[in-house]
Amino acid sequence: MNTNLTLMSMLPEHLLLLGIVLLLGMEIVGKGVRAALLVAVAAVAAAAGAAFWLYLTDFNGIPFPGQFSVNHSSLVAKFIVLLLAVPVLLISRDDFEGGEFPALILSSLYGVCLLISADSFLTMFLGLELMSLPVYALVLLAYRRVESAEAALKYLVLGGAASAMFLMGVSLLYGMTGSTEISAFASGLLATDIMSRAAVALILLAFFLKGAVVPFHAWAPDAYEGASVPVTAFMATIVKAGVMFAVVRLFANVPIVSPIVELVAIFPLISIVWSNIAAMKQQSLRRMIAYSSIAHAGYMFYALLGVGEGQMQAVTFYLLTYGVLNVLAFAALPPHANDAERDRLDTLKGLWHRNPFAAIMIAIAMLSLAGLPPFPGFVAKFLIFKNVLTAGYTTYAVIGLVGSYIGIYFYLRVIQVMFMTGGGVAAGEAPLSLATPSQPAAGAQPARLDAFAQVAILMCLALTVWLMVAPGRVLGGV
């Protein structure tokens, strides 16, 4: 084994591992607990920088043949995931104290990075579990409402079912091909025997479960609602990104045929339509984002209908755009003494009058997630449907496009609540702004955004403007 090749190929993973060791050491000795968040941010930023540097140097490496490899696409994917993790960590300061939260986040990120570079189903399964297991604990960690324990259990059951289904599919595929390398999946896609098709279907359905695609979404909204804001942001962006990059790695450059085409088209289509309709009646912002996340998973799985370079470009741009805007919405969400009240849409009533900056940031996120021009969400959806049309699935593209218009309603509903209802300070909330806040109203809890949340907002805003102004630069780098 070439030690230098291994160190270089896994440099982002090694930096994350170093951060985990430091955080655990700080917890054991009981010193520097307040600096845990800074250590985690530094480790993730360093890992993202390492992935970007390796990308710039056009690094390719196979430290473990048949198990783990690094190439252009995987480095881009790692950079995006690690970049999105930085603002998620920054907005967690008010919700978590100590090193437990950052240590679990870094552990999950380590699994995501393994997942992205996996060349075998064994490595892929290891990455999936390392990504998922910390999240089960994260859902329960803040415990700000009684629903948290139930949400964590439901998320654990969903994850366990997905893992069992994945392993069953891999077992069948190994029985038919004699290989655990992910290249065997391409053979299964093109095979006509019932066992190979069953294996492919089970693996695909496992990823539907991990991505919360209808009808495998049932408890995902409960998990999103029961978790704290930073954890919900992490699940909606990083976990979703890890799943989708793994799926694209499986389907890369492999044309799919019937009946797998119907699976890839119909379930995501139902996910788009059903989730957009279900989101309309939600009174919880996190639950609404959960249904929005389910719909967006449908859009991204739709990209699998196409083949070639356009598939990876569409999914990568969509994940970056979707992730940045979700984190922006959560970062700008006004703090509140009561977590359940903070989550209610009614709490956002008149936000424009109380805090114009926060209202504008959330509005930008909502308009872009709705896919309206000139925001980057429009370009992201355009690339997805262009990829489907190029592959010749015109009917599926048209139906999916019509389904996406349904979702505009609930995004605009959030804007209507913020801008077109009366002002005043909500109970438990004080006026806040990007600058130093004014004195809170009598009886209100201090509710200002700290410096870390402000940095997260500005970081997401800068990325949003970049994606809106120069989407070609992003696509050219994929």
Mind listing the pLDDT tens digit for each residue in 392-436?
888 888 888 888 888 888 889 889 888 887 654 444 444 444 433
Cα distance between residue 449 and residue 455, in whole Å: 10
- What pLDDT does residue 110 have? 95
Peptide bond into 215 cis (omega under 30): yes
pLDDT at 33: 62
Residue 443 exposed, middle or buried by CB count within 10 Å (0-12, 13-18, 19+): exposed
Do the beta carbons of residue 467 and residue 320 sit within 8 Å? yes
**What is the structure's pLDDT at 223?**
81
Q: What is the pLDDT of residue 347?
A: 81
**What was the pLDDT predicted at 406?**
85
- What averages of pLDDT result for each successive group of 10 residues across the chain (478 residues)? 84 94 86 79 95 92 89 92 94 78 93 93 93 88 72 85 92 89 86 87 91 81 82 90 91 78 87 88 84 89 80 89 92 77 79 85 91 89 88 86 85 88 52 39 48 88 91 78
For 338-374, b where at least 16 C-beta lie within 10 A, e where not — what string?
A: ebeebbbbebbbbbbbbbebbbbbbbbbbbbbbbeee
Residue 186, amino acid: A
Residues facing residue 68 across a β-bridge: 64, 118
What is the C-alpha to C-alpha distance for residues 186 and 101, in angstroms, rounded to an integer?
38
pTM over 0.85: yes
Within 13 A of 103's CA, how many CA atoms are on the CB side? 18
Residue 443 confidence (pLDDT): 38
Q: Are 406 and 295 in contact (CB under 8 A)?
A: no
* pLDDT score, position 32: 63
Q: Please name the residues in contact with 341: beta carbons below 8 A apart, sequence gap of 6 or more.
A: 347, 426, 427, 428
